[in-house]
Amino acid sequence: NPPAPGELSTVCWLIAVIPVSLQAGRSCTVIGGSGFLGQHMVEQLLAKGYRVNVFDIQQSFEREQVTFYLGDLCDKEALLPALQGVSVVFHCASPAPSSDNRELFYKVNFLGTKTVIAACREARVQKLVLTSSASVVFEGTDIKNGSEDLPYAQKPIDYYTETKILQEKEVLSANDPDNDFLTTAIRPHGIFGPRDPQLVPILIQAAQSGKMKFIIGDGKNLVDFTYVENVVHGHILAAEKLHKDSPLCGKAFHITNDEPIPFWTFMSRILTGLDYDPPKYHIPYWLAYYLALLLALLLALLRPLVTIKATFTPMRVALAGTFHYYSCERAKRAMGYRPVVSLDEAIARTVQSYPSLRRARA
């Protein structure tokens, strides 16, 4: 018997409705989607079938499937349209740590995040996943296999990190299961990968101007460098595993490559990968630290006359010369996280992605 018209329309209705309801849980907004991490986030989200909106101050790429909303994240009215009908918000917008602009850090990282939270609640977004930083617990002294139980740094290494602490506290304390709003934070460390405008280009620039000759300390201090795709994977897993009563609610998670590497070995592998010489002279850690301190003091004394920005700062010396690597055990247990790209593969892909930075052969 042919199906009755009533049955047919039920079938049509089901076909029309099912994909929509499946998609409803898979629509998201990436705040800061034009940035380095944000772009990689958008790519993986699209590959996983998410519907993606991007909110950013600028549009850095063109993708047919992505809707861009441009605006200032401190402006709730500008944010709201980007969050309508969306169930997950990834917040990875931040000024570059090296931009050294206190006012901007405070405004974007802290005030902007408060606005994001308010806008999420108003738009009835269910989940907010923040990109935090493992350095919120780093005070310039050794951390080996640090867990998330370490307290926030009393003396953060810089003002950027100070505002990342404020931001993370704000997001985690906004977790509110009773009102169907869940939050979690991902703390990556040393993100690198193709199209990063910071680490590799700055390293190569330093090598070109002859500044990459010295190893601070004995060169054996282990540090986490985390491939961008692993960081993205951690964010998406977090969004998918974040439910009422899940251990993710209101908590922060380290996401690393789970392969800590000596700081100077990593730098040397990038340098030699692009045909530059690795640094070879050692200077003692304390000497480098005091030289940087002295330089900072000198620049502070000169400040009324000239403003010089030092790249050789005590903070950078601490970053280059101390152990700081973190355990991602908690992310493994709570969300089944495993790095998807090994460090070897990650370094190879990164080096290959910068053909223009390769040293010209004489």
Ligand X SMILES: *[C@@H]1O[C@H](CO)[C@@H](O)[C@H](O)[C@H]1NC(C)=O
Residues near ligand X (CB under 6 A): 145, 147, 327, 329
Are 126 and 180 in contact by the 8 Å Cβ rule? The answer is: yes
Question: 236 Cβ partners below 8 Å, 6+ apart?
Answer: 41, 44, 45, 48
Neighbours of 294 (CB within 10 A): 11
Give the shortest CB-147-to-ligand X separation in angstroms.
4
Q: What residues form DSSP beta bridges with 88?
A: 28, 127
Joined together, the tokens standing for residue 152 give: 């926030």
Whole-number Cα distances in Å, 281 to 36, 212, 288, 327: 33, 10, 12, 31
CA distance 36 to 27: 21
Question: Could you give the CA distance from residue 339 to residue 231 in angstroms, rounded to a whole number?
Answer: 8
Beta bridge partners of 90: 30, 129
Q: How far apart are CB 310 and ligand X at their closest, in Å?
A: 35
Catalytic residue (choose from 160, 289, 325, 326): 160
Could you tell me where the beta strands, DSSP code E, fall in 219-331? 222-223, 226-227, 252-255, 261-262, 281-283, 324-326
The Cβ of residue 161 has, within 10 Å, a number of other Cβ atoms equal to: 23
CB nearer to ligand X: pick between 79 and 186 = 186
| Residue with Cβ nearer ligand X (147 or 205) | 147
Q: Residue type for 296, please?
A: A
Contact 354, 173 (CB under 8 A): no
Residue 354 annotated as catalytic: no
- The DSSP bridge pattern shows strands 281-283 and 226-227 to be unpaired
What 3-state DSSP class applies to 240?
helix
Any idea which residues carry the catalytic annotation? 160
